[in-house]
Structure 1
Amino acid sequence: MHRSATDPGRRVLHLAQPVGGGVARVVLDLTKAQLTAGLRVTVACPPDGELAGAARELGADVRGWRADRSPGAGLGDEVRRLGRLLDAVRPELVHAHSAKAGLAGRLAVRGRVPTLFQPHAWSFEAVGGVTAALALRWERWGARWAHRVVCVSEAERATGVRAGIRARYAVVPNGIDTGHFAPGAPGAPGRSGPGAPLVVCVGRLCRQKGQDVLLRAWPEVLRRVPGARLALVGDGPDGAALRRLAPASVEFAGAVADVRPWYRAADLVVLPSRWEGMALAPLEAMACGRPVLVTDVDGARESLPPGHGEHCLVPPGRPGVLAGAVAALLLDPELRASLGDRGRRHVQSTHDARRSAQAVAELYRELLGERPLMSFERRESIHS
């Protein structure tokens, strides 16, 4: 008997490591939508971090899978543990998120059931030297065991193609919950008082997110906008080093349970990343009606409304250029208000999580034997 991809008998396994930040939010948004649609959803991930508990609260079957964030000597044991988990869960489709889960998942499954791999930014961009070469070699080789490689932006897909990763690609832009992230009363965390503009940077404190570049730019911002304040929201491995760079006008807020008050309090949200697939923080900030300034990395142009690049996009790793763009926006409240309003409407129409979940559902239907929608057929590119 032919069964729908949303038949209650269909079981989907989401495999994730890391278990926080944007990866966790994407997995949780998909889990919520898929449970609502009637799928049986299992989430396999390390038991620490935000993902396991939140997925369990949604009603997903959560299985602990102990795995380090980066490949290492324990990879063989991680793959074997995952193999036993697969035998117990018996999913009809595996959706592996990020480099580590993608590595272990494809080694364990080896194409025996439909497998989606979603890099959430390519692993070889995060490292250098021999490690980058090994990561790229693996991605080229491991692509044979992914029925689809799901990129969150056309730019991320293009990066994979240029790198020689021959795969069947599909592009599903990131989405966020536009009901949850919405304009509201600022609450003003960290603000020193009326007239003191607040710049907010939300993200893991690590090299990828580029907070060090923003801190090097900050003295010039202060020279042009005296009294401006900067808040770094998040934690991570570079926290101590960043604190040593930061002047007194910078606040380290740490990880917060609800980031919305920070977005709503911000005069400007900045994400100076060195690489991304498509960052969630700018989408969340725009959904809250705030103007954003981002670096021109994968997914950034695609996440902005048409015409925003002139004011809201700077090259990565350039503190002087970043400082000039931050100061110019802080000194132009009318422009910030216009950018915030247009950004909110853009995210509502283009980056709602429900649209992303529907696009992923179309992929699932295709891989489970049903005819895909024509609109999604046009998105997919096959490189062989």
Structure 2
Amino acid sequence: MHQPAPVPRPRVLHLAQPVDGGVARVVLDLVKAQLATGLRVTVACPGGELAARARQLGADVRAWRAARSPGAGLPREVRRLARLVDEVRPELVHAHSAKAGLAGRLAVRGRVPTVFQPHAWSFEAVGGPTAALALRWERWAARWADRVLCVSEAERATGLRAGVRAAYAVVPNGIDLDRFSPAPAAGCLPAPRTADGGPLAVCVGRLCRQKGQDVLLRAWDEVRRTVPDARLALVGDGPDSEVLRRHADPSVHFTGAVADPVPWYRAADLVVLPSRWEGMALAPLEALGCGRPVVVTDVDGARESLPPALAARCLVPPEVPAALAGAVAGLLSDPPLCAALGAQGRRHVLSAHDVRHTAGRVTALYRELLGARTLLPSECRESIHS
């Protein structure tokens, strides 16, 4: 008897722009997990670290030339992407963030099952007429997403309040808990500290309006009045770098872009993320994975990412420097409390934010959209949770 030919595994096409920061980390985590299950995975993006690392993982990577923000070149970008989709012939398209979500949905227009993952809503990132246009687009384009994948219930609620009527799914962000872990007792490589050994607050993120480093610098003078030897490290680079440097106290250190933030998390006494908006930020989860307490603004996803004890102490309203200064200074002044909150945070992410569980839930969503076709054999499904 002839054995039936094996059915090819479905191909997933991930579309991404930007190609750095949290979006890239989420895409790479999914790519790694999906390749491990035997899925065929293609990543289309404008190069950068995302393309290089996706190739290293074994994904098929296609160059898609596209600017970070929408502009006059959008029609050309959409045409390029439509040709690329025709070449790759994916069974499912997963578009990440506002720009790829815009171009991807225009290129595909429902011809292929499509997942759109906002990674925070586009209409929160801009103001005035641009925000109104972004909102009209998100409402209109929801018809071309089989699922809008949010990383928190709060992000989904923001979309619904804004009138984005869609078929939603919610899968919280996860992190690699082997990588983001407390430093070993010996042999660790801590990030540079100040010579006087004062407490160190660290803020990891792109230097841009969204991440709110300008609010943190406005709060920092008050922190220093309470904790005179405190030091602050801004870890990352971005369009606001020069402006922030001009307004920074000498106790503030700018690291520039770093290949790996883990040493900075481990060196920190406290990690701060004063964002203006998010879906569910990765930096607080990564800090908690490293056993470090956090102070974060109460934007979408923040409450859902923290255990109750930290939510009660470590959440502050966005764009209120006085509240941010009080929370930061209070924790930097209390090392035993910092240690206790960091340990609670580590236990929380172990139970609620393991990236393997996140990847498994996303793959289950793909299975739902692809219908009766078998996406994973049972042994591969089990490997996600091992």
What TM-score, normalized by structure 2, do the two folds share?
0.93
Displacement of 1:190 in angstroms is: 3.2
- The 8 Å contact of residues 191 and 266 in structure 2, kept in 1 or not, is answered as no
Structure 1 counterpart of 2:280, which letter?
A: M
Q: Deviations over 1:234-266 (max 9, x none)?
A: 000000000011010000001111111000000
Aligned to 1:228: 230
In 2, distance between residues paired with 1:199 and 1:292? 9
Structure 1 residue ranges without an equivalent (≥5): 1-5, 373-384
**SS of residue matched to 2:15:** strand
Aligned to 2:26: 26
- The 8 Å contact of residues 8 and 39 in structure 1, kept in 2 or not, is answered as no
- The 8 Å contact of residues 190 and 251 in structure 1, kept in 2 or not, is answered as no
In 1, distance between residues paired with 2:93 and 2:357? 21
**SS of residue matched to 1:308:** helix
Q: Deviations over 1:61-105 (max 9, x none)?
A: 000000011111111000000011011100000000000000000
How big is the alpha-carbon RMSD for the aligned residues of Structure 1 and Structure 2? 1.4
Aligned to 1:216: 218
Q: Deviations over 1:191-241 (max 9, x none)?
A: 114640000000000000000000000011011001110000000000000
**SS of residue matched to 1:70:** coil
In 2, distance between residues paired with 1:82 and 1:309? 42
Structure 1 counterpart of 2:19, which letter?
A: V
Q: Which of 292, 316, 323 pairs up with 1:321?
A: 323
In 2, distance between residues paired with 1:188 and 1:37? 35
- The 8 Å contact of residues 124 and 132 in structure 1, kept in 2 or not, is answered as yes
Alignment of 1:126-275 (within 5 A): 126-185=125-184, 187-193=189-195, 195-275=197-277
Q: Percent identity?
A: 76
Do the aligned partners of residues 321 and 104 (structure 1) sit closer, same or farther apart at CA in structure 2, a change above 3 Å counting? same
Aligned to 1:41: 41
In 1, distance between residues paired with 2:349 and 2:339? 16
Structure 2 residue ranges without an equivalent (≥5): 1-5, 375-386
Displacement of 1:308 in angstroms is: 1.4
In 1, distance between residues paired with 2:260 and 2:120? 24
Aligned to 1:380: none
Structure 2 counterpart of 1:235, which letter?
A: D
Aligned to 1:382: none
Displacement of 1:8 in angstroms is: 4.4
In 2, distance between residues paired with 1:60 and 1:130? 39
- The 8 Å contact of residues 274 and 295 in structure 1, kept in 2 or not, is answered as yes
- The 8 Å contact of residues 188 and 265 in structure 1, kept in 2 or not, is answered as yes
In 1, distance between residues paired with 2:253 and 2:92? 44
**SS of residue matched to 2:149:** strand
In 2, distance between residues paired with 1:314 and 1:230? 18
Aligned to 1:88: 87
Do the aligned partners of residues 8 and 22 (structure 1) sit closer, same or farther apart at CA in structure 2, a change above 3 Å counting? farther
- The 8 Å contact of residues 13 and 42 in structure 2, kept in 1 or not, is answered as yes
In 2, distance between residues paired with 1:8 and 1:193? 59
Structure 2 counterpart of 1:206, which letter?
A: C
